[in-house]
Each structure stands twice: as structure tokens, then as C-alpha cells.
Amino acid sequence: MTDEAESTNSPDPYESELYSSYTETEIIEIQSLMADWNQATYPTLANSIVKHAKKHGFAGEYLRYLRKASNFNKKGARKKLLPDGAIRWNKGSEFLIERNGKIVTYGENA
């Protein structure tokens, strides 16, 4: 087996972190919510979600982060087209960034 083949079969450490401490039912929900996300410039989708969740104050609360992003209500939100083609939605203290109809990140402004 080549090094490349070994690396593609290696478990994603971010996926392990993303799923740790969750029940099987919660992991299924996480995987379902992840379908609405775009990995952007990260090597894996799990890597993107873990990094963004930590950046926005949701370290270790990945399911909560995914739920809040999924529940972001765009009705009445301000929409701004970003230079890279992504769309940023702002509403109250929350924001959501999407690219090609998929979530890139979510956060709450302090």
C-alpha cells in the first residue's frame, strides 16, 4: 500500500473530535446537519466545522453550533455579497455566510 492510499484511509482527526461525547442519535443528527455545509478552503468538512465552531465560541459544542446555524432565520436579515462570491447574512447579533447555497460559517457578534 502506498503512503497516499494509507493517508486517504486514515480517520479524520477532526471528525473524531466532532463526534466525541455524542450519542449515536446525535451523531446522525450532526451528519444530517453537515449536509448543508460547504468545507470552503479546509481539507475536510469536519475540519471546517470544528475550526469555525471554535473560532466563534462553540468549542466542544458542535451539535449546538450546527443547530444554531441551521436555524438562522434569513427573513429580515441584511444580505451582503462578498468579494469571493459568498453571501453574508446579518440579523441582530448573528451572522451566517453561505457559498453556493451551503453554509460556510455561522457566528454571533459580541
Residue 42's Cβ-count burial label (10 Å; 0-12, 13-18, 19+) is middle
Better pLDDT: 4 or 12: 12
Segment 29-87, tens digit of pLDDT: 999 999 999 999 999 999 999 999 999 999 999 999 999 999 999 999 999 999 999 99
Number of separate domains in the chain = 1
* pLDDT reported for residue 8: 52
**Which residues span the domain enclosing 96?**
3-108
Separation CA 30–CA 27 (nearest Å): 5
* pLDDT reported for residue 10: 62
Phi, psi of 34 (to 5 degrees): -65, -25
Q: Find the mean pLDDT for residues 18-33.
A: 97
